[in-house]
Structure 1
Amino acid sequence: MESIIKKLRDLDAYPKINEDFYKRTFSGGIITILAAFIMSLLFFSEFRSYLHTVKETTLLVDTSRGGTLRINFDITFPAVPCTILSLDAEDISGERHFDIRHDITKKRIDVHGNEIEARKDGIGAPKIEKPLQRHGGRLEHNETYCGSCYGAETADDHCCNSCEEVREAYRKKGWALSNMDMIDQCEREGFFQKIDEEKGEGCNINGFLEVNKVAGTFHFVPGKTFHQSGFHFNDLIAFQKNNYNITHKINKLSFGEYFPGIVNPLDGVQWLQDSTSGMYQYFVKVVPTVYTDVRGRTIQSNQFSVTEHLRNLDSGHNQIIPGIFFFYDLSPVKVTFMETGISFLHFMTNVCAIVGGTFTVAGITDSFVFHGRKVVKKKILKKFG
C-alpha cells in the first residue's frame, strides 16, 4: 500500500513549495483581484453564449407536393352584421366552398366594439318546425313538411325547409334570388327583419380554413355568393346595392403554425372605407417555412408578404362584389430556420481555457512586476551607495 502511495506521489505534476519560501506583495494582491474580475467577466460572457441560440437560415427549392394549408384568421367588420356576413374559398384546382360555417365563430358587436352574442350557426335562422304549406298547398294529415324551393328543386322530393335552404338551392343553380321578400320561408323566419334589427352592428369572425396547398382565394362578403357563366354574383346586391361599408380590422392572419420569431405583416392592420363600397384585395405570397429548434423539434409553417388594392364599385366594373378578398399564391422557394447552440463540452473547454489562461497571464504579469521592482530597487541602492 505504501509503495502505491509513493508511486502516486511521484506522479504529482504540481509540486508544493514550503510556505517559508512564499513572498506575498501588494502588487500581487492587486493583480489577483484584477485576474478574478476578468475571469468572472469572461465566464459569464461564455455562459451567456452557451445559453444563447443562433438561427441559421437556408433557402431551398420546395419539392413537396400535395398536402393542405391552414389559414388562421380573426377579422372584425364594424359595419357588417353577422347575419349577412359569409366566408367563401376556392382554388385553382376548381374546388369551391361557399358560405363556410365549420371551424368558425361569429360574434355580434355593437358600435363600441363590445360583444353582444357569439354563435357558430352561420347565416340565417333555424328551420321552421311546423309551417303551413307544402309547395303551395296545405299539409295533409300526418304529412311531413316539404317546403318549396321556388323552381330550384333538383328532384321531386327536394325540399327547402328554411330561407337558408332556398338561398342555397338558388346558389347551386347559379340563379339570382332577386325577390327574397316573396319567399315564404324567409318571411316567416323574419330574415329581413333580422337584418333590420342588426343595422348599426358589426361582426367579428374568427377561426381557420384547411385548403389545398395550391394557389387560391378566400373572401368575406355580405350575402351568399354564387357562380354563373364564369362570374361570381351576390344574392344580396339587389337588396342593398352600394350601401355596404367594408371597413375592417385584421386582428390576426397567419398561414400555418406559430414559430418563434415569425412576423405576420397583416396582424393589427385596419382599413377605413371613405368612399363608395368596393372590393378590397390582398395579394399574398406564401413562403413555406421549416423551423427546427435547438432540441431538434420541427415546425412546418409559412411566412408571407402582401400587397393591397381597392376596386371601387363606381370604377365601371359591373361584376365587383363588395367585401375583402385574399388572393394567395405559394412560393417555389422554402426557407429553413435551424437553431444552433454551443455544446456543454465546448462550454467546459472554454471555461477551462478562461481559468487557465487568466491565471497564466496574471502569473506572467506578476513576475514581470516583481522582478522589475527588484531591478529598480537595485539601481537606486547602487546610485546612493
Structure 2
Amino acid sequence: MISSSKLKSIDFYRKIPRDLTEASLSGAGLSIIAALWMMFLFGMELNNYMSVATTTIVVVDRSRDGEYLRIDFNLSFPALSCEFASVDVSDVLGTHRFNLTKTVRKFPIDSHLQRIGQEVHAGPVPNIKSHGDAHGEEDIPYEHLGEGAVELNQKTFDTYTHLFPVLVVNFYAPWCSWCARLKPSWERAAQIMAERYNPETDGRILLAKVDCTQNQALCREHHIQGYPSIRIFRKGHDLREGHGHHDHESYYGDRDTDSLVAFMTGLVPAPVVDGKYAIEDKSNNTDGTVKRPAPRAGGCRIEGFVKVKKVPGELMISAHSGAHSFDAAKMNMTHHVGLFSFGNKQSWRSLKDANRLLPELDSDIDHLTGEVFISEHENITHDHYLQVVKTEVISLRRHKGSEPLDRYDYTAHSNQLQSTNVPVVKFHYELSPMQVLVREARRSFSHFITNLCAIIGGVFTVAGIVDAMLHNAIRMVKKVELGKQF
C-alpha cells in the first residue's frame, strides 16, 4: 500500500499556509479585473463555439444534378412578333433543337413592354408542302389570267374591310422569293373566287393584296414581319380595340391554287338573310395548322425554361419560318432581360440557408437580369457570352436525406454585331469544370475546452505577473519614503 505521505509528494499544487500569505488592496482589485476579463473572454469563446464555421474550397465539379442543366429566362422583345419568334438550342456535341414550345410561353406586348391579351399558343409555323402551283403542261399560262387580286393601299384598306363580309389579304414584298412563288396561284385563286362570287353582284368574299414596300405603315399596323402573310378579315366579327387594331386570323396552309380555293370557299358566309350575312366558317382547320389568330401586338415576351447538356452551347432567339422571308433591315432585336438564370428551382428554405451563408450571391447572381440591350442601328445581332460557375452549399440545417443546394453564378460579356443576315439574340454559355464548395460545420468541443483553459490560465498568469510587479513597485516606494533605499 502507498502511504498518504508518498501521495502528497507528487502534488503539483502545494499549498502555502494562509498565515504566511499577505493580501493587498491592489491584488484584490487586480483579481476582480482578472475575473471579469475571464468572464468576458469565456463568453466570447462560448459564442464562437456555438456559431457555425464555414469553409470554402474549389474542387472538380462532380455534379449530382444529372446530365442536363436547366436555363430559366424571361425576355421581352418590343419589336419581335410572337408569330415568328423562335427559341432554338444547340451545343458543341451537335445537338440542335429548333422552335421549342413545350416549356416556352409567349405573350404579346406593346412598345412599353406591357402585356396585351392572352398567351399566344401559336406553336411552330406549319410545314407548308406546296408553296405555289407546280409548273406543267396542264397549267394555264399566268399571263393569260391577268390580275385577279385587288391591290389595296393605306387609303383603300379600311374601305374594303368594311365593304366585304370576308376579305383575305396577301401582304407581300416584291423582293421575297416565297411571294414570287405564291403570286401565280394567288392570282388564279382570286380570279376563280371572283367568278364564283362576283364582287359586284354577290360580294361575300374578296381576295386582295398589299405591297408592304409601298405601304409600310399599313403593314406595321397589322404587325407584318414575315412575307408573305395572309390575313383573314371578317366584317362585323373583328373585335376593334381602343388602339384601332382588329382581331383577325392568319392562314398557314398550302399555297397552290386548289388548296387556296378550297380554303377560301370554306370561308364564304351564307347568303344574306334579313339584310345580314350569316358568317359560317366551313374551312377544315381541326388541328389548328391552317389558320390561327393573327398577332395582336408587334412585341413578344418569351418566358419559360429549357434543359441543355452540360457542355458549351447557345440559346438563340430569332424570327424563324421555313415559308416566309424577313427583311433584315426592318428586324429590331432590342430586348429586355427580366430573368436569365441557370440551375433547378430551389425551395424557399434552401434559398434562405444559401442567403444566410452567402449573402453576396443573393444580390447579383444573375448578371443579365434587369438589363436592356438596344439595337441603335439596323441589322444588329446581340451576342451574350456567359461563363458559368457552380456553387454547392452544404448546410447543417438541411433536412436529412435532402440534396445540397446548388447555385449557379455567371459573368456576362455582351457584344453587338452588324451584318446583312437576319438579326438574332444569342446567349453563348460555357460551364467551368471546377465548382465552389461551401461547407458548414460546427467547432469541436475539445477545441473549445482547450481555448477555455488557455483563457483561464493565461489571464491568471498574466494577472499574477502584473500583481507581482505592482506589489514590488509599492514596496520600493515605501522603502524610499522610509529612507532605506540606497
Normalising to structure 2: TM-score of the pair?
0.52
- 1:302-341 superposed matches below 5 A: 302-312=408-418, 315=419, 317=420, 320-331=421-432, 333-339=433-439, 341=441
**Backbone CA RMSD of aligned residues:** 4.6
Q: Unpaired segments of 5 or more residues in structure 1?
A: 1-6, 126-146, 153-174, 227-234
The residue type paired with residue 252 of structure 1 is L
Task: Measure the CA separation in 2 of the matches of 1:224 and 1:307.
Answer: 26
Distance 1:19 1:198 in 2: 102
- 2:230 is the alignment partner of 1:181: yes
In the alignment, the residues of structure 1 paired with residue 453 and residue 21 of structure 2 have an alpha-carbon distance, to the nearest angstrom, of 29
Count of residues in Structure 1 that have an aligned counterpart in Structure 2? 313
More moved, 185-194 vs 321-330? 185-194
How far apart, in 2, do the equivalents of 1:339 and 1:23 lie? 53
| Aligned counterparts of 1:308 and 1:354: Cα–Cα separation in 2 | 56
1:253 is the counterpart of 2:340: yes
**How far did residue 209 of structure 1 move?**
1.0
Following TM superposition, the consecutive aligned residue runs of length 4 or more in structure 1 with deviations greater than 6 angstroms are 11-22, 61-64, 182-185, 188-193
Structure 2 SS opposite 1:377? helix
CA pair 69-381 structure 1, distance change in 2 beyond 3 A: same
**8 A Cα contact 1:281 1:324, kept in partner:** yes
Name the amino acid aligned to 2:404.
Answer: T
Deviations 1:63-91 (A, max 9, x none): 99x81122122223233344443211122
User: In structure 1, what residue type is equivalent to 2:305?
Assistant: F
Q: For 1:95 and 1:116, locate their aligned partners in 2 and report how far apart those are by CA, in whole Å.
A: 35
User: Is the 8 Å Cα contact of residues 45 and 452 (structure 2) preserved in structure 1?
Assistant: no
Q: Against the structure 1 CA distance between its residues 39 and 78, is the aligned structure 2 distance closer, same or farther, given a 3 Å change threshold?
A: farther
Instruction: Decide whether aligned partners of structure 1 residues 206 and 192 sit closer, same or farther in structure 2, where only a CA change above 3 A counts.
Output: closer
Deviations 1:115-173 (A, max 9, x none): 44563735589xxxxxxxxxxxxxxxxxxxxx995528xxxxxxxxxxxxxxxxxxxxx
Structure 2 counterpart of 1:101: 101
Q: 1:280 aligned to 2:382?
A: yes
User: What is the rounded CA distance, in whole Å, between the counterparts of 1:96 and 1:362 in structure 2?
Assistant: 76
Which is greater in Rg? 2
Once residues 127 and 366 of structure 2 are traced to their aligned partners in structure 1, the CA distance between those partners, rounded to angstroms, is: 47
| Partners of 1:342 and 1:375 in 2: CA distance | 52
Per the TM alignment, residue 370 of structure 1 is displaced from its structure 2 partner at its CA by 2.4
d(CA) in 2 for partners of 1:24, 1:81: 92
In the other structure, the counterpart of 1:56 is 56
CA contact (8 A) 2:38 2:455 kept: no
Report the equivalent of 1:350.
451
Rounded Cα–Cα distance in structure 2 between residues aligned with 1:269 and 1:209: 21
In the alignment, the residues of structure 2 paired with residue 286 and residue 335 of structure 1 have an alpha-carbon distance, to the nearest angstrom, of: 10
Preserved contact between residue 50 and residue 347 of structure 1 (Cα < 8 Å): no
Moved more, 203-212 or 335-344: 335-344
- What do residues 193-233 of structure 1 show as CA deviations (whole Å, max 9, x unaligned)? 833x313xx43333221112233221112x3355xxxxxxx
Residue in structure 1 matching 2:404, options 275, 282, 298: 298
Unpaired stretches in structure 2, ≥5 consecutive residues:
1-6, 132-180, 183-225, 234-248, 252-266, 268-287, 347-353
TM-score when normalising by structure 1:
0.63
Q: Give the residue type in structure 1 aligned to 2:250.
A: C
SS in 1 for 2:436: strand
Output the CA distance in 1 between the equivalents of 2:117 and 2:16. Answer: 83
Percent of residue pairs bearing the same amino acid type:
23
Distance 2:113 2:231 in 1: 34
